[in-house]
Structure 1
Amino acid sequence: MTDHHDAWRLLGGSTLVGTIVIDEPGMPWQCGRFLSEPAFSQFKPWFDEITALVAAEEFERFDEVYDLIEGALTLESPSGAVAEFLLHIDQDRAWFRWQDGPATS
C-alpha cells in the first residue's frame, strides 16, 4: 500500500507534467493533491474531458479519450514506473489506481 504523503510523478516522455502527493492512501484508489507543472497545460483538456464524460455518464467515449492519456503519459511511483494506471485529475485533486504488471483477461 502507498504511504501517506508519498509523491508520484506524472511524466510526458522525460518531462515532468505534475506530482501527486498522496493524502488519502487506500486500495484500490489513491488520492492526493496534484501539483501541476507548465507541461500539464497540453494534457489538461484530456483530463477535463474525462471528468465531464464520467459526470455525464457517457462511458462509451471514455476509452477513446483515455487512450490519449495512456499513450502520452507515464506514472511513476516512489519506487519506479508502473505498467498500467487509471488516473483522474480535477483541478488540484488526483485519484488513481495502478498495476505493476499488465492486466490479465
Structure 2
Amino acid sequence: MVGEIFIEEGDFPWLSGRFVSAAGFAKVKPLFERELALPEEEEWDEWDSVVGEINEKLQLVAPAGPVAEFLLYIDDERAWFRWIDDPIA
C-alpha cells in the first residue's frame, strides 16, 4: 500500500482530497513528481509513459473494488484522480 486518499471534493469526472502516504509511497514518489513536471515541459510522450508505469505498478481501489484504469496525481498531501471501470483496449 502506498497511501490512502480521503476524498473532500468532486468535480466530475475528477475527485480530490487529502493524501496520507504509507511506507510504500517512497518507492513511487519520483513517478508522481515526474508526472506533474512533464506537462510543464510539454513532454507528452514521456508523460504518457509515466502514467502507464503508474498504472502498471499501482492499483487504485474504490469502495467497490479495484478500477480498470486511472489517472492519479499526488502532490505532497493532496491527490486528485479519475478512473474508468473498463480497460481501454
C-alpha displacement at 1:25, in angstroms?
1.7
Aligned to 1:63: 48
Aligned to 1:54: 39
Identity, in percent, stands at 47
Aligned to 2:24: 39
Q: Which moved more, 1:51-60 or 1:33-42?
A: 51-60
Q: Which has the higher helix share?
A: 2
Q: Which moved more, 1:24-33 or 1:51-60?
A: 51-60
Distance in 2, Cα, partners of 1:40 & 1:103: 26
Does residue 85 (structure 1) correspond to residue 70 (structure 2)? The answer is yes
Distance in 2, Cα, partners of 1:24 & 1:94: 11
TM-score using structure 2 length: 0.92
When the two structures are aligned, how many residues end up with a matched partner?
89
Does residue 102 (structure 1) correspond to residue 87 (structure 2)? The answer is yes
Distance in 2, Cα, partners of 1:75 & 1:65: 16
**What is the identity, as a one-letter code, of the residue corresponding to 1:61?**
E
Distance in 1, Cα, partners of 2:49 & 2:6: 28
3-state SS of paired residue (1:74):
coil
Unaligned runs of 5+ in 2: none
For the aligned residues, what is the CA RMSD?
A: 1.2
